[in-house]
Amino acid sequence: MSKKLALYRISILFLCYFGIDFICALAIYRNFAERYNAFLLYNFFAFALQMPLGILIDAWTKKSRKTLLPGLVFTLAGILVTIGGSFFSHIIMGVGNALFHVGGGVLTIHEDEDDGFKGKGFGVFVAPGAFGLSLGKALYDSQMFTLIQIIACVLLVVLGLLLFVKYEDRVFEQVGTDLKDKDLNYLIILCFAVVFIRSLTGMGMSFSWNDSKLTSTLLSLSLSCGKSAGGFITAKFGARKTTLISLGFAAIAYIFADKMAFGLLASMFFNMTMPMTLFMLYRNMTDLPGFAFGILTFALFMGYLPVLYGYVGNMSPFPFGSICCIASLIMMLLGIFISNKRGINE
């Protein structure tokens, strides 16, 4: 399988990720926002469900020994279910979102690993989500809502089908992961905690200058750029250097985040850990990519709960953001140490 085809497939997944989150935001704010606990139920099915779905896709992959087919099927099914749910049910939409992200995540993991991208594909895949959500939220009250929704749905189906172009599967090499390994369990806990903190920070922190659709869009772009850059910079300089630089700069930038330029930079640097945690966890459990992906998305959901129930909210970038950066920095370095100890080089 050529790198050209791998890049093609990851690019399609990038567009699909944007489209899925765009449709979900568009529909939930338009049709379901006034329903009690609509956001909680949607987020539960969209994120918490990914862990059991990840276990299921891993089991299918091992049984069939096919690397790509399970991910392709989950991805296309997720697109179709999300589209259906966007018209009549936020719960169905959440299930579709979970199916897509697990399928697309596993596909990206295999393409990245098999073609030697060293985590760059992870950053590309997850990058457009925040921007898709922001744009969907900005357009939900448009007079052309129905037309926008239909066009987006049609384009998503076309993109999903394009994933099957030049489909040729690979044989899955059976490798066992010992989930009783204490070091691996420590690593899982550390990666989970880093993602939990990032979710809590993103949901619970507010910027004084973020008071319009334009500033929200710029903020989402900074998140997307950070996630994408994290994969590329880590592949070139390694996890340790990238962690020190990105989280160190983010902690400093949050001190001055009442100024928009510093706030955007802080958000960008802080979100560089997104592909890093996924790559590090996957490299330590290569036969369980769906489970690895699902663990971290469950951490995203858990980070959302304290904000939803009012325990954390409207936190100031300083000191809250800086403290979260320092805590994440310490845990990332511990995770890298454990990974190296297990013989998995950064």
User: For 122-164, what is each residue's pLDDT tens digit?
Assistant: 889 999 988 899 999 989 988 899 999 999 999 999 999 999 9
- Angle among Cα 107, 111, 115 to the nearest 5 degrees reads 170
- Residue 255, token pair as written in the block: 């001190």
Percent of the chain with pLDDT over 70: 98
For residue 207, what pLDDT band results from cuts at 50, 70 and 90?
very high
Q: What pLDDT does 281 receive?
A: 93
Calpha distance 343→337 (Å, rounded) = 10
- Residue 160, token pair as written in the block: 């999903």
Q: What pLDDT does 198 receive?
A: 95
Summarised one tens digit per residue, pLDDT across range 8-63 is: 999 999 999 999 999 999 999 998 877 768 888 999 999 999 999 999 999 999 88
- pLDDT: is 75 or 130 the higher one? 75
The tokens 């953001």 sit on which residue?
Answer: 321
For residue 69, what pLDDT band results from cuts at 50, 70 and 90?
very high
CA–centroid distance for 53 within its chain: 15
Summarised one tens digit per residue, pLDDT across range 295-333 is: 999 999 999 999 888 888 889 999 999 999 999 999 999
Nearest alpha carbon to residue 75 among 149, 161, 5, 171: 161
Per-residue DSSP letter, 168 = -
Percent of the chain with pLDDT over 90: 71
What 3-state DSSP class applies to 315?
Answer: strand
Q: Please determine, for residue 263, whether its predicted confidence score (pLDDT) is greater than 70.
A: yes
- Residue 182, Cβ neighbours under 10 Å: how many? 9
Q: What pLDDT does 237 receive?
A: 92
Average confidence (pLDDT) over 208-235: 92
CA–centroid distance for 214 within its chain: 23
Q: Please determine, for residue 1, whether its predicted confidence score (pLDDT) is greater than 60.
A: no
Nearest alpha carbon to residue 100 among 169, 39, 159: 159
Q: DSSP string of 62-108? A: HHHTBSSHHHHHHHHHHHHHHHHHHHH-HHHHHHHHHHHHHHHHHHH
For residue 172, what pLDDT band results from cuts at 50, 70 and 90?
low
Nearest alpha carbon to residue 275 among 304, 303, 236, 312: 236
Calpha distance 300→296 (Å, rounded) = 6
Q: What pLDDT does 346 receive?
A: 59
Average confidence (pLDDT) over 98-117: 89
Average confidence (pLDDT) over 274-284: 92
Average confidence (pLDDT) over 200-224: 92
The tokens 């909210």 sit on which residue?
Answer: 313
Q: What pLDDT does 36 receive?
A: 67
Nearest alpha carbon to residue 254 among 245, 246, 244, 265: 265
Q: What pLDDT does 288 receive?
A: 92
Per-domain residue ranges of the chain: 3-162, 182-341
**R_g of the chain computed on alpha carbons:** 19
What are the φ and ψ backbone dihedral angles of 119, each rounded to 5 degrees? 95, -5
For residue 77, what pLDDT band results from cuts at 50, 70 and 90?
very high
Average confidence (pLDDT) over 65-79: 92
Determine whether domain 182-341 maps to CATH 1.20.1250.20: yes
Q: Give the bridge partners for 315, in sequence order.
A: 205
For residue 230, what pLDDT band results from cuts at 50, 70 and 90?
very high
- pLDDT: is 264 or 6 the higher one? 264
What are the φ and ψ backbone dihedral angles of 315, each rounded to 5 degrees? -75, 145
